[in-house]
A = this chain, B = another copy of it.
Amino acid sequence: MAERLDPWGSGKIEDYENLFKEFGIESFEKFRNKLSENRYIRRRITFGHRDFAKIMNSIENKKPFAMMTGLMPSGKFHFGHKMVADQIVFYQKLGAEIFLCSADLEAYLVRGIPLETARETTIEEYLTNYLALGLKEKNLNFWFQSDYKVPYYRLRDMLSRKVTFNELSGIYGELTTGKIFSTMTQAADILHPQLKEFGGPRPVVVPVGVDQDPHLRLTRDLATRFQNEFKFITPASTYHKFMEGLQGGKMSSSDPNSYIALTEKPEDARKKIMSAKTGGRATIAEQKGKGGIPEECTVYDFFLYHLVDDDKELEKIYGDCKAGKQVCGECKKICADMVMKFLEEHQKKREKVGEIAKNILGK
């Protein structure tokens, strides 16, 4: 029960126990202290990994490593995406070469989004926000799946030789021809940084949600199957939790009430926070008696993931809620003010980085 009092949500780790047991994902605990400057790691939002020891070794010994992640260029960039952006910036500061992909081909093949639209979304919503959040041009490889270098396509084609239908349908459900092209492209996204044309074999880490793990496992298998041809080092992965949507349920680009975009008007953001689902009780009397439930509160998640970096400060918010000292209305106001301040500052930064975004694409 002590775990459930942990202000950074480690209580929920219990839910992930069977991931460790059944799927072989390992706990991130042993790396937590070494990388505790990262808020997501410190607060166990990043809770699991595969093969991360290779990455830790590279970090500690200042050896080359890479971090790969992709973005789906549909809809608005919101606070859920910010968590991934922060991780990119974190690994870049640690010395990783960053491989950052716009999954425009997947957007086209699986969701029917025209490539041109995906390109605009990539620049306006993703790249500009990444830069405003601290991404640097140095040590950054950015690409569109539809517009990259030939060895990448060649690798993808070669990978297709050693993947069976059963594997793909086991992971991705009902397949279409386009979906097969998309899934194999994702495998090339992860593995190509180790081609000689892109820097050669070295540890690569891919931070994902648990839902992406089957894909990671396939790609790790593929790395082994092409051992002779490419000397791939099996890619590492980390697993993070997700923020819940503002109304409960999933935070999703397709439901504007579930998220706050980083380009949102501060006043609109305030309204969304004020009507968000909390971990409050049915009555104020009950809340004062029993205390709130921050573990089930989407407003608390904003403090936990983004707004409060100081652990003491977070502990106070958490403790006051649990003790029934703070009611939801007041708490929402504090959160809304912080979100508005963040957005105002962030949106100023966005204005400064537009040119850099163009530079990156022009490379």
Contacts and interface: CB of A to CB of B under 8 A. Distances in A.
Interface stretch (A38-46, A157-165, A253-261): A157-165
A297 interface: no
A184 interface: yes
Interface of A: 105, 108-109, 112, 115, 145-150, 153-154, 157-158, 160-165, 168, 175-178, 180-181, 184-185
A177 B154 contact: no
B146 A160 contact: no
Contact of A161 (B154, B163, B178): B178
A109 B157 contact: yes
Contacts of A181: 157, 160, 181, 184
B160 A178 contact: yes
A150 to B, nearest CB: 6
A160 B147 contact: no
Closest 4 A/B residue pairs (Cβ): A161-B178, A160-B181, A153-B153, A160-B177
Question: By DSSP majority rule, is chain A's interface helix, strand, loop, or mixed?
Answer: helix
Given A148-B150, A150-B148, A164 B176 contact: yes
A146 B159 CA distance: 13
27 contacts: A105-B157, A108-B157, A108-B161, A109-B157, A109-B161, A115-B154, A115-B158, A145-B157, A147-B154, A148-B150, A150-B150, A150-B153, A153-B153, A157-B181, A160-B177, A161-B176, A161-B177, A162-B178, A163-B178, A164-B176, A164-B177, A165-B175, A165-B176, A165-B177, A177-B180, A177-B184, A181-B184
Contacts of A168: 177
Nearest to A150: B147
A154 B148 CA distance: 9
A146 B145 CA distance: 17
Contact of A154 (B146, B149, B178, B184): B146
A51 to B, nearest CB: 25
Contacts of A160: 109, 177-178, 180-181
